[in-house]
Structures are given as structure tokens and as C-alpha cells.
């Protein structure tokens, strides 16, 4: 899911990237790279103009992981 999501993001397929990142976050909330995925998820949402949702993703990083 990470590879598909990051590849889709890099190629500008933001709908696919959003879907893959959303699935990953729901399925693997305790993964060691979860904050990296939240960051990419937030960037994807920004590119799609979903500012409120992007803000929530970025705030989650800030509030939960002070070392990110």
C-alpha cells in the first residue's frame, strides 16, 4: 500500500494515493512509519484541495509524535 500510494502521489494520481494512504492508516495504525504516511496523506489531501482533512492529518503528527 505504501509503494502504490507513494507511486500514485509522485505520478499525480491523488485519488489513488488518498485511497491507499487511507486504507493503510486504518489497517496499520501502529506501524512504525505511520507518521510518514500521515505526512504523505496530508500532502495528498492538500493537492486535492481538502484543506480541513489535510490539517487534521498534520495535526495528528504534531500532537502524537513530537520527534517527527
How confident is the model at residue 68, as a pLDDT?
64
Helix axes 34-47, 2-10, angle to 10 degrees: 30
CA 53, 7, 35 angle in degrees (round to 5)? 45
Query: Which tens digits make up the pLDDT trace of 11-64?
Result: 999 999 999 999 999 999 889 989 999 999 999 999 999 999 999 999 999 998
How confident is the model at residue 67, as a pLDDT?
72
Q: Examine the pLDDT at 9 and tell me if it is beyond 70.
A: yes
Residue 5 CA from chain centroid, whole number = 9
What's the pTM value of the predicted model, to 2 decimals? 0.88
Instruction: Map out the domains of the chain as residue ranges.
Output: 2-64
Please determine, looking at this structure, whether the domain spanning 2-64 carries the CATH number 3.50.50.60: no
Q: Examine the pLDDT at 2 and tell me if it is beyond 70.
A: yes
The answer for residues whose C-beta is within 8 angstroms of residue 57's C-beta and 6 or more apart is 38, 39, 41, 42, 45
Amino acid at each position: 500500500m505504501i509503494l502504490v500510494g507513494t507511486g500514485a502521489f509522485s505520478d499525480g494520481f491523488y485519488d489513488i494515493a488518498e485511497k491507499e494512504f487511507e486504507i493503510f492508516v486504518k489497517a496499520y495504525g501502529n506501524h512504525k512509519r505511520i507518521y510518514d504516511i500521515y505526512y504523505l496523506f496530508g500532502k495528498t489531501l492538500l493537492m486535492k484541495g481538502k484543506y480541513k482533512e489535510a490539517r487534521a492529518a498534520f495535526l495528528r503528527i504534531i500532537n502524537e509524535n513530537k520527534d517527527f
